[in-house]
Amino acid sequence: MKREFRCVDIGQIVKHYRVKQEPIHSSVLTRQRMMLRVSMERGKEMMEKKDIAKVDQAKRPLKLAILVSLFFVGGAVMAAAQGGLAPDLILFNGKILTVDKDFNIQEAIAIWKDRILDVGDSSAILALAGKNTRTIDLKGKTVLPGLSDGHFHMLQSAVGQYRGVDISQVSSIEQLLGKLEEKIAQTPPGEVVFTTAGITPEQLREKREPTRQDLDRISPRHPVVITGGHNYTLNSLALQKANITVDTPSPEGGLIEKDPRTGELTGLILDNALRLVRGLIPPATPQQKLEALRFMQKRANAVGFTSLREPGVSAEDMRIYQQLWKSDELTLRVSMNLSPNFQNASVDELVRQLSQWGVSTGFGDAMLRLDGIGEFGIDGGFEAGLMTEPYENLGDAPAPPDYFGLQRVPVDKFEQAVVAFNRLGWRGCIHAVGDKGVDIVLAAYEKANQDHSIIGKRWILEHGHYTRLDQFERMKKLGVIISTQNHPYEAGGRMRYFWGEKRAAKVMRVKDWQDAGLVVGGGSDRPGALISPFLQLYFWITRKMNDGQVIGPDQKLSRADALRLMTINNAYITFEENLKGSIEPGKLADLVVIEEDFLTVPEEKIKEIQPVATFLGGKVVYDRQELR
């Protein structure tokens, strides 16, 4: 089976050999890069014969660079003798947004195998063509680097859409109930009916969550569960099967909601209380998961994604991804966070489990790799993020004055675990929504750093919905990266309701983070339907919610900075900024072709952009059949 040539920075090797830095469209420089590529291929063959791929990950880049240097001269001479190599594919007459250091704009790209050989003006790049080179006239279309979702629960989303009632696009509670009724009519009495995740009150005409009473009206004989990332809503029969009554206490770090006026269960349960009902929904089989992933990655390619970070999967589910990898079916580059059974295991048990792995953050190749430990949460979601100041509202009423959100993990256990993960070579990628939650995460990271430096290991704060200015310097000092999401587009109204206008105006403060010198990557955090990257870009550029209102206008990004968020910045998060994330010679040929000019198209049209084609390593993984 074909293996990726890992962890080699062509640019650094070229620099090492002092290849003359002529203009990027120079055919001389291109030929030198071609010769270098030949030497790399020869080095790769030798490595595979000697099984050098098993070397320690931390030492691999240096060892590969040394091996490549040994074959450089011979490979270059052979290439020169043969008259050089021609690219396999040239895209020309387009607008190429390179997203390189200077955000250069070019006209054409030359691709050889899975790599970008050169970019420049059309005439110079076309001059490189050989008799077998395929050329495509872009006719003015725009080419972007392959887009990346830095925080997408793809497996969970895929399985939910594959098995559950899809409610992601409903616009009212009545429409939601109608979809459930259709499924109930096809389901034997007593069997559970459940939905995809991800609806918000803002998308519903009624501007509220569905309740137990709503579900009871249509389903007296079926347990019904509306799933979400941090919350479920159950009908009475589902509550009964889960043994939840008005007398059931909310577990620590969780909430079983009751109507403040009547004391009756509303059907809504949050965070750690979800453990009480997990058994209601039958688990998906490995084959169902595999089929669901095949389906979802095709949809992801169709909207322009070539990479993603899976923020938390079990070891068992990692094997599902590995099956696709082994069969060469992956059409997305996936970086996986390991989600340990943190709630039910002691720190000692977790350490024993992880000590047996023998690998850690960074293990893998350009298609499938280990990313870190995550994203188990120190706090909850929108209605349960841990704040230093109390909530303004909760449910359908003003919040109790002592409600600050939910803390899901005891501080002592959390800090011990984070220190232990660091000792084993895993980086932390921890969920924190509220500013107090962020304080707890940063304090644990600081303790880990005192024990064994995390500087340069790119530890991550997942989310950071509400952060304070005084936290920025702590993050910068530790080299912490923020993986943020476009949650306010759909849930900004909920944030305003729960946290008040003042805090809501400062959610996902990407502009402030970047001005403070922090690296920020962008994602969606969808446990339900896939969100187009162009919708995400639209939010970062306009800060408009789905109702047209603007939230945090001072945090708007330029189009170039928004694009960086979902390309080169996300590549940096996974230690792959020298491999992908921009359109530069030597990098993987991951590309998205769009009809519109991303830099000038009217703002409201950005969210409607649909790719013409998506390339992964120079191969088409989505084609609207317009590149002919």
For 247, other C-beta atoms within 10 Å of its C-beta total 5
- Of residues 160 and 449, which shows the higher confidence score? 449
| pLDDT greater than 80 at residue 371 | yes
Highest mean pLDDT among 19-23, 177-181, 332-336, 526-530: 332-336
59 pLDDT band, cuts 50/70/90, is very low
What sign does the CA torsion over 588, 430, 269, 344 have? positive
Distance between CA atoms of residues 226 and 215, nearest Å: 9
pLDDT score for 9: 36
Mean pLDDT of the chain: 86
595 part of a folded domain: no
Q: What is the pLDDT of residues 416-460, one digit of tens each?
A: 999 999 999 999 999 999 999 999 999 999 999 999 999 999 999
378 pLDDT band, cuts 50/70/90, is very high
Distance between CA atoms of residues 460 and 516, nearest Å: 16
Total domains in the fold of the chain: 3
Lowest pLDDT segment from 31-35, 375-379, 412-416, 558-562: 31-35
In terms of Cβ atoms closer than 10 Å to its own Cβ (0-12, 13-18, 19+), residue 28 is exposed
Which of 280, 295, 323 terminates a domain? The answer is 280
Which of 280, 310, 332 terminates a domain? The answer is 280
- Beta carbons of 204 and 176 less than 8 angstroms apart: yes
Task: Tell how strand 134-137 and strand 89-92 pair up.
Answer: parallel
| pLDDT greater than 80 at residue 343 | no
- Beta carbons of 319 and 293 less than 8 angstroms apart: no
594 part of a folded domain: no
pLDDT score for 549: 95
Closest CA to 311 of 487, 567, 524: 524
Q: What's the first-to-final CA gap in the chain, in angstroms?
A: 30
CATH code, 496: 3.20.20.140
pLDDT score for 345: 86
In this prediction, residues 26-36 reach a mean pLDDT of 44
Q: Let me know whether 318 and 222 are in one domain.
A: no
Which of 86, 118, 146 terminates a domain? The answer is 146
Q: What one-character-per-residue DSSP string does 74-106 give?
A: HHHHHHHHTT----SEEEESSEEE--STT--EE
Q: Considering all CA atoms of the chain, what is the largest pairwise distance in Å, rounded to the nearest integer?
A: 86
Q: Let me know whether 548 and 501 are in one domain.
A: yes
pLDDT score for 260: 83
626 part of a folded domain: no
2 part of a folded domain: no
- Beta carbons of 573 and 483 less than 8 angstroms apart: yes
Q: Let me know whether 605 and 498 are in one domain.
A: yes
Closest CA to 229 of 539, 500, 465: 465
- Beta carbons of 347 and 417 less than 8 angstroms apart: yes
Q: Let me know whether 341 and 474 are in one domain.
A: yes
- Of residues 378 and 37, which shows the higher confidence score? 378
Distance between CA atoms of residues 208 and 397, nearest Å: 12
Q: Which secondary structure element, helix H or strand E, spans residue 376, and what is its range?
A: strand 368-377
CB neighbour list of residue 234: distance below 8 Å, 6 or more residues apart: 212, 215, 223, 224, 225, 226, 242, 244, 267, 269, 277, 280
48 part of a folded domain: yes
356 part of a folded domain: yes
CATH code, 63: 2.30.40.10
Q: Let me know whether 506 and 574 are in one domain.
A: yes
pLDDT score for 397: 83
Distance between CA atoms of residues 334 and 591, nearest Å: 16
Q: Which amino acid is at 549?
A: Q
Determine the structural domain holding residue 200 and report its residue range: 157-280
30 pLDDT band, cuts 50/70/90, is very low
**Long-range Cβ pairs for the range 49-52 (8 Å, 24+):** none
pLDDT score for 528: 66
- Beta carbons of 56 and 21 less than 8 angstroms apart: no
State the pTM of this model: 0.82
Q: Let me know whether 119 and 257 are in one domain.
A: no
pLDDT score for 577: 98
84 pLDDT band, cuts 50/70/90, is low
Q: Let me know whether 468 and 578 are in one domain.
A: yes
Closest CA to 386 of 256, 543, 271: 271
593 part of a folded domain: no
pLDDT score for 628: 62
Q: Let me know whether 403 and 525 are in one domain.
A: yes
In which residue are the tokens 């990027």 written?
24
Closest CA to 427 of 356, 370, 377: 370
Q: Let me know whether 140 and 61 are in one domain.
A: yes
pLDDT score for 333: 98
The residue count for the chain: 628
- Beta carbons of 60 and 54 less than 8 angstroms apart: no
In this prediction, residues 477-494 reach a mean pLDDT of 95
CATH code, 261: 3.10.310.70
Distance between CA atoms of residues 62 and 81, nearest Å: 29
Q: Let me know whether 203 and 116 are in one domain.
A: no
**Long-range Cβ pairs for the range 341-346 (8 Å, 24+):** 341/314, 342/376, 342/409, 342/417, 343/272, 343/275, 343/376, 343/408, 343/409
Q: What is the pLDDT of residues 102-131, one digit of tens each?
A: 999 999 999 999 999 999 999 999 999 999
Q: Let me know whether 128 and 212 are in one domain.
A: no
Q: Let me know whether 132 and 201 are in one domain.
A: no
273 part of a folded domain: yes
Lowest pLDDT segment from 460-474, 478-492, 614-628: 614-628
